[in-house]
Amino acid sequence: MARVAPPPLTPRDLMRGCSLDELVDLWSADAFAERIAIEHHGIEIRFIKDLAAALRWKPIELFGVLGVPEQSRFARNDYRVQGMPTLRCIELLKTLGLAREIAQRSADPAFAVDAWLGRWLLTPSYAFDGLRPIDWFDTPSGAAYVRHILRAKESGVVI
């Protein structure tokens, strides 16, 4: 008897019951099909609000950084943000995942890495031409550069 493949998961199925931590982990796993589906269909607004809380930012601040329309703050939590705001959010999720990995390897377990990253992203730096690291998230290459600097900080490079 031929085996029938299960139907593919939809982005709604992927995100139902998913936490911010699981979404961060998804971007460091080899889950290409799931990541592509989310990139195409968008990020639920609840994840953006949860990400803002993790970074200790106000949701409206993160909406501005990501380019999410301000009126979306009144949207239902399952409302999906699509396009460039989704891609910028994904870059931020990747950066949060990297910061967590670095902290796990080298920091005190009580170190509040999410809050530290939130402050660091808002602090102007010489490494970013006097801009804040978060200002570089408007392109994938800029976000990759931010992660490059984070890796350099882990190895002890003074920036």
151 pLDDT higher than 50: yes
DSSP state string for the chain: -PPPPPPPPPHHHHHTT--HHHHHHHTTTT-HHHHHHHHHH-EEHHHHHHHHHHHT--HHHHHHHHT--GGGGGS-TTPEE-SHHHHHHHHHHHHHHHHHHHHHHHS-TT--HHHHHHHHHTS--GGGTTS-GGGGGGSHHHHHHHHHHHHHHHTT---
Identify the band that residue 13 occupies on the pLDDT scale cut at 50, 70 and 90. low
Between 118 and 7, the higher pLDDT residue? 118
pTM: 0.85
Which amino acid, 142?
A: G
Q: State the number of CA atoms in the 13 A half-sphere of 52 facing the CB.
A: 17
C-alpha separations of 84 from 29, 44, 48, 57, 88 in Å: 22, 14, 14, 20, 6
Q: Write out pLDDT tens, residues 45-84.
A: 999 999 999 999 999 999 999 999 888 878 888 889 999 9
Find where tokens 């995100």 sit: 15
pLDDT at 6: 47
Sketch the domain layout of the chain as residue ranges: 11-154
Q: Which of 11-25, 59-73, 111-125 has the lowest mean pLDDT?
A: 11-25
Between 124 and 31, the higher pLDDT residue? 124
pLDDT at 152: 92
